[in-house]
Structure 1
Amino acid sequence: MSDYVITEQHSQQSFTCHQDEFVLKAMESNGLRSIAVGCRGGGCGVCRVKVISGSYECGRMSKAQVSTEQQQQGYALACRLKPTSDLLIECSPSPLAINGITGVTKAKQKHTEVIK
């Protein structure tokens, strides 16, 4: 079984990932947080990344989160991404990740109105 090195382009964080392991799971197993974590099932889009270089396979992902055209451009959900070589990835979070939803349950946004 081969181990591959996964590197996130912006943070330059690297971790190892087994050939039969999903990238998101490998990142968590290595104690890192360079990729946002959501449902872990390919449906929410929080862990969306772009593969800059390297080869990989993808499991089932929601087409609402990563279209066929986007897949052809290198986008994938890290929870469904398995490397077949070393990978250079770029985190490309969904609006959910940007709004701070990084757990399995979705947080409600709090709005504060300032009256002057």
Structure 2
Amino acid sequence: MFSRAPDEPIKGLDVAASLNHTPPDAAAQAEEWQQAEERQQAEEREQALAQITRGMFDLTDGLKPAFDAGDGMRADLIRRGWSEQAAEVIALTWLQRTVANMTPLIGSPQ
């Protein structure tokens, strides 16, 4: 039934070699993992930066009318005879309140 003697080793199977098998260089593997992690972190930073940039542009678009109205209010007060300093203070106070109302998380006392 068997073509080999019981004490004869199986061809192609070297138990000693398989027991002494050394894994791939651990330092090289750790460096590869570190580089992969750094690439992933860089990608996540780029995505976060893009989201922040889009959010800031959206915020700018939303606040632009308030700043334009504040500038118009200041110019109107000066045209009506108010001093530049008084017109600036009034327009700035109005603008601060308006922005606080437009952005409740920033403007609300917590």
**TM-score under structure 2 normalisation?**
0.20
Q: From the two aligned structures, give the one with the greater helix fraction.
A: 2
Query: Is the radius of gyration larger for structure 1 or structure 2?
Result: 2
Q: From the two aligned structures, give the one with the greater strand fraction.
A: 1
Tell which has more relative contact order, 1 or 2 (C-alpha 8 A, sep 6+).
1
